[in-house]
Amino acid sequence: MTSSVEAEGAAASLPPVHVIGTGLIGASIGLALTGAGADVTLEDQSETSVALARDLGAGRITGPVEPGIVVVAAPPDVAPRLVLAALERWPEAVVTEVASVKQVILADLVRAGVPLDRYVGSHPMAGRERSGAISARADLFEGRAWVLCPHEGSDPAATRLVTTLAQATGAAVTTLTAADHDAAVAAVSHVPQLAASLVAARLEHLSDQAIGLAGQGVRDVTRIAASDPGLWTQILSGNAGAVADVLRAMSVDLVGVVEALDALAQEAHVADAPGARAVLARRIADGNAGHARIPGKHGAPPAAYAVVRVVVDDRPGELARLLVEIGEEGVNLEELRLDHGLGLPFGLAEVSVLPAAAGPLSEALRARGWQIHS
């Protein structure tokens, strides 16, 4: 794949890399860089962990005297101390850390009062559902965002070196301030997680019949509510201020909605509820505007695709046959979703394509004997 070639190019220009902390992220960085041709050494407070990472191919244990770049892959409460130690141990090396929050770490480092020109914080936004070196993957960062957070005093050469390292893992680099990073992940990750959990919690005590009315909408909204409480308590605690800010703004909207609904619920009995409907419409319209900001594939907003719904029998090979025939029509799938309802012996395949392709595709599939739905 193209990205691997690019990653190898980036890795070829890397100086020796030293990774401190060989959990999921550190060991995966080691695997990705070693695989791309870089020279990687490993270190961890746990002898077992570092030996495991080495055995998996993440790097060597006995390192060079002077690495060119040090990656601290440790939790936010440990990372600042390890960054300071690395800056002192290797006075020429660039140092980055990869914790999921950035402001608290930078604040800790600034408090230490040492020069930070060789430090550049970063955050690879990669999977976390399992932990430890044993779960490490060379392709963990491939196609994922890796956020760089240079601070005011960061040396541009240091920022360039961390950029090269991130690219060598196959990641796509983007640059934000620490505050902007924390606010961004609060809005695009931490608050959606909490919202999914709060909505899902309201389902717990429904009757079997009531929960049986659940459709694709609530399934999508609550999919990430299956996440691990321990992990998310750590994540939310580390970004508490930024998450609270977003939730407070959301809470103001929510209170307004409840007031409008209360007025409408009373309307039949007492009087008109002036403005209540406008409040509801405004909140939904604001959601439209925010939703439209989310980039789709090829940079187009999701609304730019047209959906063709096809009835697919529930047996092996039927969906494949559909997609083969879509391919034969020369149409490229943008998104695909398979929606099964109520245990029936068929499902609906929702095929998203560029709008211009939807009409011809529907006709072509109908001509091939498929049942096209709505």
Residue 210: CB minimum distance to a copy of itself, A: 3
Phi, psi of 209 (to 5 degrees): -65, -40
CB-count exposure of residue 220 (10 Å: 0-12, 13-18, 19+): exposed
Name which position in 57, 64, 75, 302 contacts a copy of itself (CB under 8 A). Answer: 302
Which residues, numbered 68-97, are part of the site for a copy of itself (CB under 8 A)? none
Q: Quick one: 112 or 265, whose CB is closer to a copy of itself?
A: 265
Cα 87 from Cα 91, distance rounded (Å): 6
Position among 11, 165, 168, 243 found at the interface with a copy of itself (CB under 8 A): 243
Query: 88, 262, 355, 356: which one contacts a copy of itself (CB under 8 A)?
Result: 262
State which residue, 12 or 281, has the beta carbon closest to a copy of itself. Answer: 281
Q: Extract the tokens encoding 242.
A: 């930024």
State yes or no: residue 276 binds a copy of itself (CB under 8 A). Answer: yes
Instruction: By CB under 8 A, tell whether 195 contacts a copy of itself.
Output: yes
* Positions 196 through 225 that interact with a copy of itself (CB under 8 A): 196-204, 206-207, 209-215, 217-225
Position 363 contacts a copy of itself (CB under 8 A) = no
Amino acid letter at 148? L
Residues 13-42 that bind a copy of itself (CB under 8 A): none
Under the binding rule (CB under 8 A), the answer on residue 358 touching a copy of itself is: no
Q: Name the one range near a copy of itself by CB under 8 A: 34-42, 88-96, 151-159, 167-175.
A: 167-175
Pick from 248, 270, 271, 272 the residue near a copy of itself by CB under 8 A: 248
Q: How far is the CB of 356 from a copy of itself (least distance, A)?
A: 15
Which stretch in 54-62, 86-94, 150-158, 344-352 sits in contact with a copy of itself by CB under 8 A?
344-352
Q: Does 137 bind a copy of itself (CB under 8 A)?
A: yes
Considering the complex, state which of residue 110 and residue 311 has its C-beta at the smaller distance from a copy of itself: 311
Q: Which of 362, 339, 363 is nearest to 350 (CA)?
A: 339
Looking up tokens 């046959």 gives: 321
